[in-house]
A and B are shown apart, each in its own frame.
Chain A
Amino acid sequence: MPNIISDETIEYVGILAKLELDEVQKEHAKKDIGEMLDYIDKLNELDTANVEPMSHVFPVNNVFREDVILNEDGSYDTLKNAPSEKNGGFEVPKTIG
């Protein structure tokens, strides 16, 4: 059964993905995601009921280490990449009215 992506879903995906889409792009995205999901639905042919999901191929454990400072203060160079900076910090638009 083909996947039909609703207007509400694509609106929601836009919020999650932090992307702004115009009407034409929304229609494109609906079609694209629908077609990809149709293709991905192929996975449903596989019986995976008793299979543990595998996020990592090798056994991974938390890696702990002492929090030792190895680098120098890089804030000046880091801020040079910021589109906007003020008083040694990243400048963003006003967030509270």
Chain B
Amino acid sequence: MSLMSLTALELGRKIKAKEVTVEQAVLEAFEAIEESEEKLNSFVTLNKKAALKRAKEVQKAIEEGTLKGPLAGVPVAVKDNMCTKDLLTTCSSKILYNFLPTYTAQAVMNLEEAGAIVIGKTNMDEFAMGSTTETSAFGATKNPWNEAHVPGGSSGGSCAAVAAEECSFALGSDTGGSIRQPSSFCGVTGIKPTYGTVSRYGLIAYGSSLDQIGPVAKDVSDCAAILEVIASYDEKDSTSVKREDYDFTSALIDDVKGMKIGIPRDYFGEGLEEEVKEAVLKAAEELRKKGAIVEEFDLSLVEYAIPAYYVIACAEASSNLARFDGVKYGYRTKEYDGLHNMYKKSRSEGFGEEVKRRIMLGSFVLSSGYYDAYYIKALRTKALIKKAFDKAFASYDIILGPAAPTTAPKLGESLSDPIKMYLGDIYTIAVNLAGLPGISLPCGFDKKGLPIGLQLIGDCFQEKKMIQAAYTYEKTREGKHSPFSKQADTTLGQKGESRS
């Protein structure tokens, strides 16, 4: 059995108990990567030499008692839009093909200080723009459950790497569903925290008012423990929020008695696959059996979230991506005629099609004459959507629904029709607009054997209620978190067994 079959917390305990060394864990991660990468392409860059060096340092610190945290010595894969000092950070784009950051993102820094070992950078949709990880300039990532299917996106590399047991856990980022949707497609667990909970310092911006970094892992306990480490108030991020609570693992309680769970009727309409619907409603029933009060309600405005999102996200992207101009870093075109031509040619050759599409749409909706009709209109819609959630959370602790309307589509099926691809984010996008926390966790499989994801949404700063409900559901489930796992069948979510 590979050490990568263990959850992050299990591996951390084994390391602490001196049953295995940090070096062994890191070497096993790279063995797994060697075995799977050719098929899956989860990683853009591997960090083997530095990881092995760091493993020795961390081992020493654990033995000396200076590193005591639950993630000390545990191998982590980081999405390639988070800056890592001296380690290639490409955003899966040609325009950053050679970029070596001079500093490390705060979330990654927090993990490193807790002793986690960064083993590599994971593939993603270029600049996190996409829902399939097919827009990467370095080739698509495949779904470990079935290589003919996409892993979802944009954090597809991170989710595939966790599912394929190429790492113990990973970091992803979520602007419109980019952690929750690929977690759903890959049968892993991922959290998008409340906006402002995890520092965005060093996260290469896509839609700054929506972006959040979050954990991708094998179960709820891991996600809570990882979030506890990466979340921090950060002066360097002007939208960072000083929270009252960071003790997310204290919510790992197997109990939902009296918890009020709302199921939006409008999440179960047209476009939702029958098998997904059944699995999600079955999960709701399990929570009801555990004592939760489960009711249906009308959330409203669901169909307006996607158009509002594309206006806001693309507008912000058009501004954020203006920095890629062939001057300070990354790709510069070979031949040009003057400064402006150099900018234009470098950008046109360096960005992929989806990125250019979104930059152009964003430039358009912000241009004079269209600003009020599109951008301001979208911001007004966002206010209405937030109000609809506020109303829902006045009655419910948690909102329950699917993470995505379908299981993972086949490779090559999505990119030809962008609007159809965008519709795949219908259940996740509003959560970003309203700044809410959301979790996706496995709740079954379809007939093709592809995982189905359950999404639980909490009110702002109510991660703990969400984690408690997710943990309680996980306990009811006999499942497997990975197609590779030999032991998972017998350990994950077994009834009544305590894992913490």
Contact = CB atoms under 8 A, between A and B. Distances in A.
Interface in B200-215: 209
B237 to A, nearest CB: 9
Interface in B82-114: 98-100, 102-103
Contacts of A87: none
Contact of B338 (A19, A74, A94): A94
A43 B338 contact: no
Nearest to A90: B327
Interface in A20-52: 20-21, 29, 32-33, 35-37, 39-46, 48, 51-52
A19 B195 contact: no
Interface in B118-156: none
Given A57-B460, A78-B102, A82-B329, A48 B343 contact: no
A68 to B, nearest CB: 10
Interface string A3-23: 000000100111011111100
B102 A32 contact: no
A83 B374 contact: no
Contacts of B338: 93-95
A53 interface: yes
B228 interface: no
Contacts of B326: 83
B421 interface: no
A86 interface: no
Interface residues of A, number: 50
Given A18-B344, A21-B348, A60-B239, A33 B361 contact: yes
B307 A42 contact: yes
B378 interface: yes
Given A43-B377, A63-B238, A82 B327 contact: yes
Contacts of B364: 9, 13, 16, 33
A16 B348 contact: no
B339 A93 contact: yes
A84 B363 contact: no
Contacts of A39: 307, 310, 419
A92 interface: yes
B336 A93 contact: yes
Contacts of B362: 17
Interface string A75-90: 0011011111000001
A79 to B, nearest CB: 9
Contact of A53 (B318, B329, B376): B376
Contact of B363 (A13, A35, A45, A52): A13
A81 B327 contact: no
Interface string B361-396: 111111100000010111111111010000000000
A48 B384 CA distance: 8
Nearest to A81: B329
Q: Is the interface of A mostly helix, strand, loop or mixed?
A: loop
B314 to A, nearest CB: 9
Interface stretch (B176-184, B259-267, B352-360, B438-446): B352-360
A14 B360 CA distance: 7
Nearest to B362: A17
B348 A20 contact: yes
A83 B102 contact: no
A51 B235 contact: no
B434 A43 contact: no
Contacts of A20: 341, 344-345, 347-348
B311 interface: yes
B174 to A, nearest CB: 15
B17 interface: no
Contacts of A36: 310, 361, 418-419
A45 B377 CA distance: 11
Contacts of B99: 81
Contact of B418 (A32, A53, A95): A32
A74 B238 CA distance: 22
Given A13-B367, A83-B326, A51 B344 contact: no
A51 B418 CA distance: 30
Nearest to A96: B339
B381 A46 contact: yes
A14 B341 CA distance: 12
Nearest to A60: B239
A19 B348 contact: yes
Contacts of B307: 39-43
A19 B301 CA distance: 35
5 contacts: A14-B360, A18-B322, A18-B343, A57-B435, A83-B331
The 5 A-B residue pairs with the shortest CB-CB distance in the complex, in nearest-first order: A57-B435, A53-B379, A83-B332, A48-B380, A54-B383
Given A46-B304, A51-B383, A54-B380, 17 more contacts: A9-B364, A12-B367, A16-B363, A18-B347, A21-B348, A29-B356, A29-B360, A36-B419, A37-B374, A51-B384, A60-B238, A60-B239, A81-B100, A81-B102, A83-B330, A93-B342, A95-B338
Interface of B: 98-100, 102-103, 195-196, 209, 235, 238-239, 241, 301, 303-304, 307-308, 310-311, 318, 322, 325-332, 336, 338-345, 347-348, 351, 356-357, 359-367, 374, 376-384, 386, 418-419, 433-435, 460
Interface of A: 9, 12-14, 16-21, 29, 32-33, 35-37, 39-46, 48, 51-58, 60, 63, 65, 71, 74, 77-78, 80-84, 90, 92-95
